[in-house]
A and B are shown apart, each in its own frame.
Chain A
Amino acid sequence: MATTAVSSERANYLNAEYGIRSWLFTTDHKRIALLYLISITAMFFVGGFFALLIRLELLTPAGDLLTADTYNKAFSMHGQIMVFFFLVPSIPAVLGNFLVPMMVGAKDLAFPRINLLSWYLYIAGAGLYIWCMMSGGVDTGWTFYTPFSSLFSNTHVVEAAMAIFIAGFSTILTGLNFVVTVHRMRAPGMTWSRLPLFVWSHYAVSLIMLLATPVIAITLLLMVLERALNLGIFDASRGGDPVLFQHLFWFYSHPAVYIMILPSMGVVSEIIPCFSRKRIFGYSFVAMSSIAIAVIGFLVWAHHMFVAGISLYSALVFSFLSYLVAVPSAIKVFNWTATMYKGSISFSTPMLYALGFIGLFTIGGLTGLFLACLGVDVHVHDTYFVIAHFHYVMVGGAVLGYLGGIHFWWPKIAGRMYPEGWGRLAAVVVFIGFNLTFFPQFIVGYLGMPRRYWQYPAEYQVYNVLSTAGASILAVGYLLPIIYLLWSLRYGKVASENPWQATGLEWRTASPPPTFNFDETPEVTWEAYEYDTMPLPEEVTLER
């Protein structure tokens, strides 16, 4: 084995090899996870920059900071970067990549080189997108609706669409790797009913990635052909059907919401039992609700199109199915709550994020039901109510889950503890900043402020000032972890094998793990989440 272990330090995946080549050509799933972590963090801050521009413009009612055209580009690129280059890959490509093989007791994902290829595809897509951004950007909104994108927009639509097309294949390959790994690479004794719920949610999300992403790929390809060759497939004036584009787009993009939220649900399902010192309540219900969300999530897409001229009957059916998808989500929330009931709860940083997730996701999910209601949707369609709703799910849900997961597994990833006090502070700052940013948007949206405008009547200003103030607090909350996590790499307390006394195979190997994860292939003889037999962790016993 090509290890150059320092005698004082145990050989692990970080010190196994040195040099830039050992990272760029690695097939180790843990190193690829770190490559993803760095690249998606970079894209997150690019997307965040556009969010900053949007919030600054909306500080005052007049369109004074940006021109209308620039504002169109700002919200379009904010959406596209955050959705396609941050949220979709965030937890699966970083935490999933790192943890799925370890949690099932494997040495690596089934196809390590395909895993590396998926990172290069991501980089190619992100690079093309950055180039598109530098050369003038795109103004179609993140949705690329035709015929605006195919006929009228004078911006770099083709480049942006192709960048997302390429990045889509990176998602597909990640999902393919997870499905095959979960099916074929489980350690002896790791039966399906013993899999951690994080793995179940990644299995469910992989199914969505595999079956939905190809549809957005072909849809964007057709849109690009339509634009480049002037075909007319999606142009009503030439016999085509723009609503068909919307159907195909949302056939991917609604399930994509579940691509973003399901992995976060998996993270929360790990954190809640650990910091409640209790077995998860209703394991099989939580596991199966992930699959149910994946399946039903494919059948609700047209609730984005209630005002696009679809028939009343199909709208009724889609409205009903959208209500139905709330059932498995609610099962999860109730089971997490029941897990905490009479638990021995400690408010460590990951737990704070998980609790924030439950509250904010519940608000985001319930307002989703308002929008699934046909009558209410007509009133609030394309207003800030919708913006607030999906940010509660995507930021309040997905991003909080991501940050919670990063903190929870940071000792395993880095081999060092993050500073707990700073961690809690950042979690609280994120929670406050988030709510201050997006709660006023529910109100201003309900009052009638439409999305995607760069100026607005003066009566809405107070809500927008609150929102912009909240966004700057939120930005501080995002910057803090960057600083103290980097600090902890050098100065953090050295982490033990299992600092949280958590169950799960990833905690039964060294921190950081060796290149092949386990010194010996583990044999699993226990159920997941056996917290009744685990001792209490030293760090938190003092504070309970």
Chain B
Amino acid sequence: MSDRAGLGDSPLVVEHEARPELRHHFADVVQQRNAASLGMWVFLATEIMFFGGMFCGYLIYRREYYPSFAAGSKSLNLWLGALNTAVLICSSLTVALSVRASQLGKRRQLLWLLWGTIFFGLVFLGVKGFEWRDEYVHHHVPTFYFSAQDLIRENPNLHIDPQATKIFYSLYFSLTGVHAAHMVAGIGIFAVITFMAWKGKFTPEYHTPVEIAGLYWHFVDIVWIYLFPLLYLIDRRPGA
């Protein structure tokens, strides 16, 4: 969601430096790059507040209904969640390397790394979709034939409130759903970046779009790094 500096030409471009990516209202490319980068950081601050509202609700209800949240958490597929965490960490690596490749002007390497990022993003969404399907089959999707009876049966020692587990799953689906929407947006952004790289738009002097798209991608990863322990690892002690 940052300014895609250099994606097109304004009709009002004034020529004052032979740099095609320099927009008319900036004094030089350094100012343009700094503005784009700051813009993305500021946008990410708003994203923290956006997710923050849901995290706040999660923390309050987790404290209120701890046993139900722990039981709900245990019903999630730990291994698929861990696999997805690994997938996203790999994608962050390819993003970091792609920024480096664009700085060095290695176009082929850049393209491979960008494709790798998109691939990991799609794998994440695929695994996540599989998990959601699994939860639907087990009647854990609120409103759609929701039932917490299996959790009550499996955790006879805990005081599980079906309504509270429903709140857990509501928050689980809201959080992972909004996160997945951000992943979809990220994949779209990286598709554009890949196209631009394929067109040879990036040079060692100009690679701001790769950097700021990378910032966004890392942010979406970090959100998952918090979501994974909060949702999957509430209480994983054996026999608890």
Chain A residues at the B interface, C-beta cutoff of 8 Å: 1-2, 27-28, 106-114, 172, 176, 179-180, 183-185, 210-215, 217-219, 221-222, 225, 229-233, 238-241, 244, 248, 251, 515-516, 521
Are B167 and A233 in contact, CB atoms less than 8 angstroms apart? yes
**Once the chains bind, are A210 and B25 in contact (CB under 8 Å)?**
no
Q: A221 — which chain B residues lie within 8 A by C-beta? A: 178
B23: A residues at CB distance < 8 A: 112
Which residues of B, 143-200, contact A by the 8 Å Cβ criterion? 143, 161, 163-164, 166-167, 170-171, 174, 178
**B34: A residues at CB distance < 8 A:** 184
Residue of A179, A217, A225, A239 touching B42 (CB-CB under 8 A): A179
How many Å lie between the Cα of A334 and that of B56 in the bound state? 39
B43 touches which of A28, A176, A215, A230 (Cβ 8 Å): A176
* Also in contact, A515 and B166, with CB within 8 A (given A230-B143, A239-B161): no
Residues on B with C-beta less than 8 A from A210 are 42, 45-46, 49
Q: Chain B's nearest CB lies how many Å from the CB of A442?
A: 35
The answer on a CB contact under 8 Å between B3 and A110 is yes
For B12, list chain A residues within 8 Å (CB). 1-2, 27-28, 515-516
Interface string of B44-61 (1 = CB under 8 A from A): 011101111110110011
Q: Which residues of A contact B45 (CB under 8 A)?
A: 210-211
B46 cross-chain contacts in A, Cβ below 8 A: 172, 176, 210-211, 213-214
User: When the two chains form their complex, are residues B39 and A231 in contact, meaning their CB atoms are under 8 A apart?
Assistant: no
List of B residues within 8 angstroms of A515 by Cβ: 12
Closest residue on chain B to residue A517 by CB atoms: B25
Provide the residues of chain A in CB contact with B35, threshold 8 Å.
110-111, 180, 183-185
* Residue in A184, A217, A238 whose beta carbon sits within 8 Å of that of B163 in the complex: A238
Alpha-carbon gap, A248 to B42, bound state (A) = 21
B139 at the interface (CB under 8 A from A): no
Cβ-Cβ contact count across A and B, 8 Å cutoff: 128
Q: Is the CB of A180 within 8 A of B57?
A: no
> Hey, which chain A residues are within 8 Å of B65, CB to CB?
239
Q: What are 21 sample pairs from A and B whose C-beta atoms fall under 8 A apart?
A: A109-B25, A111-B3, A112-B25, A113-B4, A180-B38, A184-B31, A185-B25, A213-B46, A219-B53, A225-B170, A225-B174, A229-B170, A230-B142, A231-B143, A231-B170, A232-B163, A232-B166, A232-B167, A233-B57, A239-B65, A240-B167
Contact across chains for B3 and A229 when beta carbons are under 8 A apart: no
Are A2 and B143 interface neighbours, CB within 8 A?
Answer: no
A111 to B64, CA, bound (A): 44
**Residue B11 CB within 8 A of the other chain:** yes
Complex: how many Å from CA A218 to CA B175? 11
Q: What residues on B are CB-neighbors of A230 within 8 Å?
A: 142-143
B56: chain A residues at CB < 8 Å are 248
The residue that A214 contacts in the complex, of B14, B27, B49, B142, with Cβ under 8 A, is: B49
Cβ–Cβ < 8 Å partners of A108 in chain B: 24-25
| Contact indicator B31/A27 (Cβ below 8 Å) | no
Q: Verify B57–A239 contact, CB threshold 8 A.
A: no
Q: Is the CB of A241 within 8 A of B60?
A: yes
On whether the beta carbons of B25 and A222 are closer than 8 Å, the reply is no
A539 to chain B, nearest CB (A): 33
A347 and B7 alpha carbons, distance in the complex (Å): 50
CB distance B39 to A110 under 8 Å? yes
Q: Which single residue of chain B is at the shortest CB-CB distance from A178?
A: B42
Q: A239-B166, A248-B53, A516-B14 are in contact. List 13 more A-B contacts (CB 8 A).
A: A110-B39, A111-B3, A114-B3, A183-B35, A184-B34, A185-B25, A210-B49, A211-B46, A214-B52, A218-B50, A232-B163, A233-B61, A244-B57
Main secondary structure of the interface of A (DSSP, over half): helix
Q: Is the CB of B60 within 8 A of A516?
A: no
The interface residues of chain B, by DSSP majority, are classed as helix
A2 and B11 in contact (CB under 8 A), knowing A211-B45, A231-B142? yes
Question: Which residue, A179, A185, A231, has most C-beta atoms of chain B within 10 A?
Answer: A231
Q: Which residues of B contact A212 (CB under 8 A)?
A: 49
The interface residues of chain B lying within 8 Å CB-to-CB of A516 are 12, 14, 24-25
Interface residues in B212-236 (C-beta closer than 8 Å to A): none
Assess whether A222 is in contact with B54, with CB atoms less than 8 Å apart.
yes
- Per the bound structure, the CA–CA distance linking A225 and B170 in Å amounts to 9
A214 touches B47 (CB 8 A): yes
> Residues of B contacting A222 with CB < 8 Å?
53-54, 57, 174
Across the two chains, which residue of chain B brings its CB closest to A185? Answer: B35
Q: Knowing A210-B42, A248-B56 are in contact, say whether A107-B170 is a contact too (CB < 8 A).
A: no
Question: With A27-B10, A231-B142, A521-B27 in contact, do A111 and B60 touch (Cβ < 8 Å)?
Answer: no
Residues of B with C-beta under 8 A to A240: 167
Question: Which A residue's beta carbon lies closest to that of B60?
Answer: A244
Minimum Cβ distance to chain A for residue B66 (Å): 13
* A106 nearest CB neighbor, chain B only: B25
B92 CB → nearest A CB, Å: 23
Proximity bits, B1-28, A CB within 8 Å = 1, else 0: 0111000001110100000000111110
Interchain nearest-CB distance for B144 vs A (Å): 9
- Nearest opposing residue in chain A for B4, CB measure: A113
In the assembled complex, the Cα of A381 lies from the Cα of B21 at a distance in Å of 57
Q: A110-B35, A214-B50 given as contacts; is B25 within 8 A of A239 (CB)? A: no
Kindly state the separation between the CA atoms of A122 and B31 in the bound complex, as whole angstroms. Answer: 29
- Nearest-CB distance from B104 to chain A (Å)? 26
Measured between alpha carbons, how far is A167 from B151 in the docked complex, in Å?
Answer: 41
Q: Is the CB of B170 within 8 A of A185?
A: no
Residues of A contacting B27 in the complex (Cβ-Cβ under 8 angstroms)? 521
Output the residue of A109, A172, A180 with the most chain B CB within 10 A: A180
What chain A residues lie within 8 Å of B52 (beta carbons)? Answer: 214-215, 218
- State in angstroms the CA–CA spacing of A112 and B12 once bound together: 12
Are A218 and B54 CB-contacts (below 8 A) given A180-B39, A231-B142, A239-B164? yes
Which of A113, A215, A231 contacts B53, CB < 8 Å? A215
The 9 closest A-B pairs by CB, nearest first: A214-B50, A218-B53, A111-B3, A108-B25, A239-B163, A107-B25, A214-B49, A231-B170, A184-B35
Please, how many angstroms separate the alpha-carbon atoms of A211 and B46 in the complex? 5
A396 to B42, CA, bound (A): 32
B110-126 interface with A by 8 A CB criterion:
none
CB nearest neighbor in B for A117: B1
B25: A residues at CB distance < 8 A: 106-110, 112, 185, 516
- The residue that B49 contacts in the complex, of A107, A114, A211, A239, with Cβ under 8 A, is A211
With A1-B12, A231-B142 known as contacts, the answer to whether A183 contacts B49 (CB < 8 A) is no
B23: nearest residue on chain A (CB-CB)? A112
A215 B49 Cβ-Cβ under 8 A: yes
Closest CB of chain A to B196's CB: distance in Å?
Answer: 16
- Chain A minimum-CB-distance residue to B165: A239
Tell me, rounded to whole Å, the shortest Cβ–Cβ distance linking B11 to chain A: 6
Question: What's the minimum C-beta distance from A452 to chain B, rounded to whole angstroms?
Answer: 27
Alpha-carbon distance between A453 and B215 when the two chains are bound, in angstroms: 51
CA distance A232 to B168 in the complex (A): 10
Q: Which residues of B contact A217 (CB under 8 A)?
A: 50
Q: Is the CB of B39 within 8 A of A229?
A: no
Report the bound CA distance from A230 to B145 in whole Å. 12
Docked CA distance A107–B34 (Å): 17
Q: How many angstroms from the CA of A372 to the CA of B94 in the assembled complex?
A: 53
